[in-house]
Amino acid sequence: MSFTKVKQYFEAAGLEDRVKVLEHSSATVEEAAIAVGCEAKQIAKTMSFLVDESPILIVVAGDVKVDNKKFKATFQKKAKMIAFDQVESYIGHAPGGVCPFEVKPEVKTYLDVSLQRFDIVYPAAGDDHSAVKLWVPELEKYANSLGWVDIGKEL
């Protein structure tokens, strides 16, 4: 259902040709890069956290992890990832397909500056066998981002 909603979202935006159904899994950065045919760092991985029990998403480059000190400085809270078995109920997408599109209304989305070094990135499209090819300004627009944050560090 999540993939269908994301696909319809991009169809309505006239970008249906950008949504890719992948033959192989895209559940991890490495798998997604192979399935899409890009470098791992171009995979826009969407990470889910709770801040004051409210869900947020942060989209980061595939070669970046969250820097706990930067996270706390930005959100005034320690980084607390949503438990694997609770991600879908908070976000609306299951792990492996979490993306910033067609999420539950209360979910806030941010983009990490690590993505700004690319022209094109590939976030998931709602399930673990999908991706969307987007220019970074398109990601910012269609993710309904609240802005750019600097919470990442290289792996």
CB 64 within 8 A of CB 155: yes
pTM of the model: 0.95
Residues in contact with 133: Cβ distance below 8 Å, sequence separation at least 6, in sequence order: 18, 20, 36, 120, 122
Any bridge partners for residue 53, and if so which?
none
Domain definitions of the chain by residue range: 2-154
Both tokens assigned to 87: 């991600």
The model's pLDDT over 72-96, given as tens digits with 9 standing for 90+, comes to 999 999 999 999 999 999 999 999 9
- Quote the percentage of the chain above a pLDDT of 90: 97
CA distance 43 to 51: 24
| CATH number for region 2-154 | 3.90.960.10
Tell me the pLDDT band of 1, cut-offs 50, 70 and 90.
low
| Contacts with 155 (C-beta within 8 Å, 6 or more apart), sequence order | 63, 64, 65
Provide DSSP, 19-59. Answer: EEE-SS--SSHHHHHHHHTS-GGGEEEEEEEEETTEEEEEE
Residue 102 pLDDT more than 80? yes
